[in-house]
Structure formats: C-alpha cells, structure tokens
Chains A and B, each alone.
Chain A
Amino acid sequence: MSRRRHSDDSDAGQPHKRRRTSEPSEIEERLESLICRVGEKSNSSLESNLEGLAGVLEADLPNYKSKILRILCTVARLLPEKLTVYTTLVGLLNARNYNFGGEFVEAMIRQLKECLKVNMYNEAVHLVRFLSDLVNCHVIAAPSMVAMFENFVSVTQEEDVPQVRCDWYMFAFLSSLPWVGKELYEKKDAEMDRLLSQTESYLKRRQKIHVPMLQVWTADKPHPQEEYLDCLWSQIQKLKKDRWQERHILRPYLAFDSILCEALQHNLPPFTPPPHTEDSVYPMPRVIFRMFDYTDDPEGPVMPGSHSVERFVIEENLHCIIKSHWKERKTCAAQLLSYPGNNKIPLNYHIVEVIFAELFQLPSPPHIEVMYTTLLIELCKLQPGSLPQVLAQATEMLYMRLDTMNTTCVDRFINWFSHHLSNFQFRWSWEDWSDCLTQDLEKPKPKFVREVLEKCMRLSYHQRIIDIVPASFSVLSPANPVCIYKYGDENNRSLPGYTVALCLTIAIKNKASNDEIFSILKDVPNPNQDDDDDEGFTFNPLKIEVFVQTLLHLAAKSFSHSFSALAKFHEVFKTLAESDEGKLHVLRVVYEVWKNHPQMIAVLVDKMIRTQIVDCAAVANWIFSSELAHDFTRFYIWEILHSTIRKMNKHVLKIHKELEETKARLARQHKRRDSDDDDDDDDRSSDREDGPLEEQIERLQEKVESAQSEQKNLFLVIFQRFIMLLTEHLVRCETGGIDVFTPWYKSCIERLQQIFLQHHQIIQQYMVTLENLLFTAELDHHILAVFQQFCALQA
C-alpha cells in the first residue's frame, strides 16, 4: 500500500487546480473501495486485512479525514451485515488516534439524528447497533451507552404518542443486545435490569390489535406467528438466561483485544430522542414469519430455535444482504450462500425461510415480487444439489398449510409457484396433491391448484397444461380461453339484435367508419323504452350488447387486435357508455364474451380505463355486481380491482406532480423578474407574464381536486360494497344458524383487509370519513374488527 502524495503546497500561492481536482475524487473512490471490500474473500486473514487497512487510513487521516469519516458513517448505515468488521476497524483507528474516534462518534450521532428527522428508521436501527458494538471495541464507554438506552426506553413513558414510536425505540434497544448485552450487563447490571423490567411492562401493556392482519397464517401450529417485539423479547430473555453468551456473531475485535483495551473510550453525548411531530412516520409493526424448525432437516446441522438470539441475528443479516444487493441477483445469491455459518447452521433453510418471509410480508414485500422468483432460481443454479430440494420441501409445506394462509399470501404463492414452474418445464409431482381433488372446489387447496394451473397456462398454452397434469386433475384445469360470441350461433337467430350483429360484422370487415356504425346501430330497439324518443344516446343495453359482442369477436385473434378495435371505434364506445349504466353494461358484455379468458378481460378493462371508455368506479361496481358473484373469489378479479386502484392512485400523483412543477415554474419566473428589476416595477407586463401560468395552476388545482375526489369516491364505493356483501352473509348465517366462517367468507373478509393493507397510505387520509360514515359502531363486529386492526397499524 503506497502512501498517497500530499498536495503540493510548495508552489507559492499557485495551486495546480487541474491536477488537484481529478485526484481527490480518484482517491475518494479508492478509499471507498478499500473500505467496502474489507471482509470479502481474500488470501489474507480478516484480521491482517483490518490491521493493514487501519494503517492506511491512519496515514490518510491528515488529508482525507472528512472523507474517511463520511465513508465509515455510510457503511455503518448501509452495510449492517458487516457491522462487526467495521466496528473493529473504527476500534483500531480509535486506538491509534483518539481524536478521530471522538469525531467519528460525533458524526454518527449527527447522522442518527438526521435519519430520525427524515423518518429513515430502518437505517437508524443499524446506526444504533453500530454504536452499541463500538462499546465492544472500546470506542464508547458502556455507561454512556446504557444512558442512551435509558433515554430510548423512557420514550415508552411519553403521553399521547403513537405506539409505533415507542415500539421503534424499544426495538432499537432490544435488537442491539445480541451484540452488546453481555458487556453492558457486566458493567451496569442494575441499570440493565431496570431497563429490562421497564421493557417487560411496556410489552405487556402495549396493544396488539394489528397482529391478525399481519399474520401469514391464522393458525399457531406448527409455528406461532409472533408479533416481532414479542419474539425479540423472548429471544433476549433467553439470552439473559444464558448469561448473555452469544456465539454466532463473528467478532473480529476479539482478536485485537490487547490493542483495543489500551484505547481510551469516549462518552456518548446525552441523546434526547427527537420529539414526535405530525410528519413522523414510524415503521409498521411486523409479524415474524417462521416455517422451518430443526425437525425439517434431521440430517443437517441443527437449526437454532425460534427464541434463540442466533435465529434473530441470522435472519437480520440475511435480510440485510438482500436489501444491499437486490438489484444484482447473482451477487445477492452468492452473498447469501457465503454467509458465514461454518456448517453449523442449515443455511439453505434459513435462506429459503427469509426469502419467503419477505415474499409473504404484509402489507407488502420489501421488493418487487418477481425479484424473489429470480433470486430463488439463481440460488438453485449455485446449489443445484441441495437448494431445489429445500425449495420443494418448502412448497409442500406451504401447500399443506393453505387452509389457514392469508388470501393475499396465497396470491403471492400462486404467482411465485407458477412462474417458478415455467422455468423448469412445469415439472411437479401433481399426484402428491391428489387429496385436493376430493374437496369442494372452493376450498383453499383445490382453489390454489386451479389458480396455479391457470397462471401456468397464461405463461404457456392450454394444451400444455392438459399435458402436464394427470388426467384426474382435469376438473381443476383451466378453461380453453376461447371467446363466446352469442350471435355466432345459428341457434340464436331469434335473439333480438341478431341481424344487426350480422350487419355490423360485414360493415366492420369492410372498414366502416364510426358514423356508419352509429347508423347501423340506430336500428336496434331499446328494450328499456317504449319508443326511441331521442337519438338513442341514452342507455341502450341491447345496442351495447350487439356492438361490443360483435367487435370483440372480430378482434378476438390477439390483444393487439382487440386494442386496435377499441381505438378505432373509440367514439362509438364513448357514446354508448356515456352513462354509468352504460359503462357497467359494457363491462358485463366484455365478461360475457371473454369469461373463459380472464387475462383478456383484465387487459381490456385496463385499456378501457386508460382510454376513458369506463371509469374506475364503474369497474368497482361491476366487480361487486351479482353477475360476477360466481367469479368473485377468483384471483383475476382482485388483480383487476387492485390494478384499477393503482391506476387511480398514479393518476392523482401525476396531476399533483404537474401542479407542483407548474408552481415551481411560476416561482422561478418571479425570482427571475425580481432579480432583473431595478427600480421600475412594470406591474402590467409582469402580470401578463404570470397570467398563463397562473391560469394553468388554477386549472391544475381544479384537476387535482377532482381527481382526489374521484379517488376517495372509488374507495368509498369499494368499502360500501364490501360492507353490504359481508353483512348480507352474516345476517343469512345468523338467521339460518349456520357457521359464518365459510371459505367464501374467509376469502371475502381477507380481500377487504387486502384493500386496507395494499393502499394504506392513501386510505389514511380518509380515516375520519370512514369512521363516521361507514365503519360505525353499528356495524357487525366481524367487519368492524378489520377496520380497527387497520387503525391499530399506525396507532
């Protein structure tokens, strides 16, 4: 390692600007690279690499101190899986340069405060853990760390603050203890006992209404799905019982004990948790996902128990690795597989469990779902002899427990499994699942298989699916996705509109214009009226039927054909679907034509919303209509509804962004004018300049308000319809004396939960309306519970 050249100060007052500006950024890159790579696979030992690096950095401190400080603070925040490597490094630096150690601690505290101010709570936890491990490296004095934790725990005494705020401070304290519990307890046992007892009483009194909404399974067997703080508390209690002996964490600083214990320690400045503000957004509570225990791999190393601190540390680190490398799937897979376990842990099982924990996380996975599918495929490539078997075992277990799995999680399981199979020629031992064939088709297992087969078909083709499943599974096989054209059947000759349909068909094939179509449709009587007393532009269901059936049939060849048809005859669609009833009927007819091809229905609905043939509220009403009751629990229906809500949300954001941009333009214009003007204020000309922009802003403002109102209305419609549907079911069950909890009911109530969870940020805005208008105390407690659980999430 060569020493870098110092900047040349000998030239009197003539800085070599050009040479100097290119070097520092190169050097900074090199420093960053050195620091980031320490700890990776190397020919030398970690200890000698750390020692070498400490030497290099010490030498660079005079010139690059602030850069080194910044890089170290950043790795503390963003590479938590390498926590102990970097605390050791800081420890060595502190031993060589006490002032640097002090400045680093100060920089960390500043960074921690900044994170808390901007709601970066997950990263703040990493910083707290880093600070606590610095106690082990003799950088920070134990009593001052205990004092900081005392301030953290006292947040639980604050009044009128959201529980999630207290939760975070408690989590930051508890989750640092695996690293530093031993040291703190040795130095300050009385204070620690007091803190732990305060912790216990807080955990006892905090409310846990939100838990059922976040559990992947509603059953406690074979593994209870624990609330995250409860689980962590059990783990810490066990750690304490074990006299704080923790053997999993790699602690490079132990090798340097003789050097480090000579170092002078710093005291953490008194840390006051920043107060709660209106803008504070704390992390949502979580439920710990567990699917494996030591019995699942009887021949391999023993899996640490669910209440062992080792389990906590392993899971934390694996989650951190995914968070660091989610964009680079090969690197991510390699990093996961090289997690140091020394063959003492069944790493493949931990990895699979952590990945499914993220995939099934409620409300949403941390990363896009498809990432997990591809990551698992990469892992299978790297460990072809072992990982596929663990994955198969996991799939089998998930299938066995479908009866109590949350509907949203089942959706994700369906998507993952079908996509995974499509990468492996759809090879699966379907016969192993023959038990589902004897069950009612609405039960979770047969339902799951049906939906999986449908998704598999979408990724291939109908005959392929028939070929890959045993004949006995034909009852679960998807329908051949063909279109149903009612006017194509000669037996339907007598249907009203049949002849017009034929006429239309010929006209469209002859490239008729919109006007020609209108005139052909004029001949269609309106079954809702005695006489056509207007131009026929009011709601005429038969016109819609004939036109939409015929057009969709002619365009049935592919999505592109159908999209072209929608575009070409947009005018006709808009006119026929002008009224709300018209929109609803268009959707009904689309369904009638394409009920065998849910994928086609979904893309048509999407196109019709985007081209404003129908609106979002119409789609919502259609989904809850009696015509769709038969398909109500099918996956594709909910994909359509959530896609519709997302489009609405994106639309509002887009206009909002436009408004903000225009406002910014106006502000810039003012600024330019203000700085240009000297004494003469030509008010008239400046007003004229502002005019168009101000007008635009006013128009956009109106647009935003109208969009937001449409968005709110959409959610209200959805909630209203859910309440009606569920209430009907509950009343029917009560009067009939039958059990409320049918498969349909479980599905429906979890779909309601899903609306809340998937769009929680938007829905938070409507809490008052929801409470006063819809989710009132008179509501059946089954339905009200969902609302209350949702409220509890950010309470």
Chain B
Amino acid sequence: EGAEGRPGRAAMCSGGTLSILRSDSYADLSQYRDQHFRGTRYDQERLLRKSCTLYVGNLSFYTTEEQIHELFGKSGDIKKVIMGLDKVKKTACGFCFVEYYARGDAENAMRYINGTRLDDRIIRTDWDAGFKEGRQYGRGRSGGQVRDEYRQDYDAGRGGYGKTVQCQ
C-alpha cells in the first residue's frame, strides 16, 4: 500500500484537479454565524473550518439520542452527542450537537445526512465551532429555541404552536 512518501501521487492529485470537481457545496460553511460566539469572526470561521462538530436542527422533541446516534453513525464513528435542552424545563427542545472523531466523517454527514429525514422530519446540519457548556440550552425567551418563539404554524413534534401564539 505504501501511502507514505508518494510525492508523485500527491502532485498528480493536487496539481491537476479541476475546480468543477473540487466543488463540495454541502460541506462548505453556511452563512450562519453564532452571535453568542466569544471571539472574532475570523476566529469563529477558523474553528468552523476545522471543526468535527455539527449542529443538528429541526429535530422532533421526541427524537432520542439513540436515534441520532444510529443515523449520524452512518458517516463515521461518533465521539459524542449532546442533546439540546429547554433552559427552563431541561427537556429536549429539538436540536443537538454531534461530534465526530474525524472531520472527514462530519463532512460526509453534511453531504449525505443533512437534508434527509429523521423521525419523518427533514433535519438540517451545520458546522459548529465546538461545544461549550451552556450552548446546550435554547436561547428563546421561553426556554426553547428562538424559532419556536415566533412560529405561527402548528408542529406536533415541536410542542404545537409557537410560544407567542400559545400565549395569545
């Protein structure tokens, strides 16, 4: 096999790859930047580019760690799953973090698991700069995620109506 010491092969691969084939849009950074991130934009982007951690959104409140492990395990070995929690109730509020051992495995999750279904819902994955204590809590005023504060529609998997609608 001898993968080491093959300058010829590396030169062949890097020197002659067409940009059309380098396209990897699913694994690119999105426009989203965490507003609570402590550090510069540059720092955040640097971390995002080498991160092995994904944010996963649009989960059902009933989706379990086990289900997430099964689905995301399809792109590689998972180091850790951290479930997102309602800050007040401490129950699942529809998002989580998935950390892989290898970035390549996280990239494959972005390419092939993002935009597919879990618990019949299209889930969305995005690069995360890395879990820090406190980030497992929703940032909405009621304790859940912000998106569930103002939502107008009825979503059985996410507590029904949005919080502001519920309070009316």
Q: Which positions in A face B, CB cutoff 8 Å? A: 29, 32-33, 36-37, 70-71, 73-75, 77-79, 114-115, 117-120, 279, 281, 324-325, 327-329, 331, 368-371, 373-374, 377, 415, 419, 422-423, 425, 455, 458-461, 558-560, 599-600, 603, 606, 643, 647, 660, 761, 764
Provided the pairs A329-B26, A329-B112, A368-B112 are in contact, do residues A560 and B12 lie with their beta carbons within 8 angstroms? Answer: no
Residue of A nearest to B108 (CB): A368
* Cα of A36 to Cα of B17 in the assembled complex, Å: 11
**A109 to B: closest C-beta gap in Å:** 15
Chain B residues lying within 8 Å of A32, measured Cβ to Cβ, are 18-20
Contacting A at CB under 8 A, from B88-137, are 108, 111-113, 116-120
* Cα of A27 to Cα of B37 in the assembled complex, Å: 39
In the complex, whether B64 has a CB less than 8 A from a CB of chain A is yes
Provided the pairs A78-B16, A370-B112, A423-B116 are in contact, do residues A559 and B81 lie with their beta carbons within 8 angstroms? Answer: yes
In the complex, whether B25 has a CB less than 8 A from a CB of chain A is yes
* Residue from B6, B15, B113 in contact with A118 in the complex, judged by beta carbons closer than 8 Å: B6
In the complex, whether B71 has a CB less than 8 A from a CB of chain A is yes
In the complex, whether B1 has a CB less than 8 A from a CB of chain A is yes
The answer to whether A118 and B16 touch across the interface, beta carbons within 8 angstroms, is no
* Cα of A603 to Cα of B78 in the assembled complex, Å: 10
Q: Which positions in B face A, CB cutoff 8 Å? A: 1-2, 4, 6, 8-9, 12, 15-21, 23-27, 64-67, 69-71, 74-75, 77, 81-83, 108, 111-113, 116-120
* Residue from A36, A419, A599, A643 in contact with B66 in the complex, judged by beta carbons closer than 8 Å: A599
**B33 to A: closest C-beta gap in Å:** 24
Given contacts A79-B18, A327-B24, A370-B113, 16 further A-B contacts (CB under 8 A): A33-B19, A75-B18, A118-B6, A120-B9, A325-B21, A329-B111, A331-B23, A371-B108, A458-B70, A459-B70, A558-B65, A559-B65, A559-B69, A599-B70, A603-B69, A643-B77
Residue of B nearest to A29 (CB): B19
The answer to whether A425 and B120 touch across the interface, beta carbons within 8 angstroms, is yes
The answer to whether B75 and A118 touch across the interface, beta carbons within 8 angstroms, is no
The answer to whether B71 and A459 touch across the interface, beta carbons within 8 angstroms, is yes
The answer to whether B66 and A371 touch across the interface, beta carbons within 8 angstroms, is no
Chain A residues lying within 8 Å of B108, measured Cβ to Cβ, are 368, 370-371
* Cα of A599 to Cα of B81 in the assembled complex, Å: 15
Chain A residues lying within 8 Å of B81, measured Cβ to Cβ, are 559-560
* Cα of A365 to Cα of B71 in the assembled complex, Å: 19
**B153 to A: closest C-beta gap in Å:** 20
Chain A residues lying within 8 Å of B117, measured Cβ to Cβ, are 422-423
When A and B form their complex, which 8 residue pairs have the shortest distance between CB atoms, in order from nearest? A118-B9, A74-B16, A458-B70, A118-B8, A370-B74, A374-B112, A36-B20, A423-B117
* Cα of A600 to Cα of B16 in the assembled complex, Å: 46
The answer to whether B27 and A560 touch across the interface, beta carbons within 8 angstroms, is no
* Cα of A118 to Cα of B23 in the assembled complex, Å: 25
The answer to whether B75 and A370 touch across the interface, beta carbons within 8 angstroms, is yes
* Cα of A455 to Cα of B67 in the assembled complex, Å: 10
Chain A residues lying within 8 Å of B16, measured Cβ to Cβ, are 70, 73-74, 77-78
* Residue from B18, B27, B66 in contact with A327 in the complex, judged by beta carbons closer than 8 Å: B27
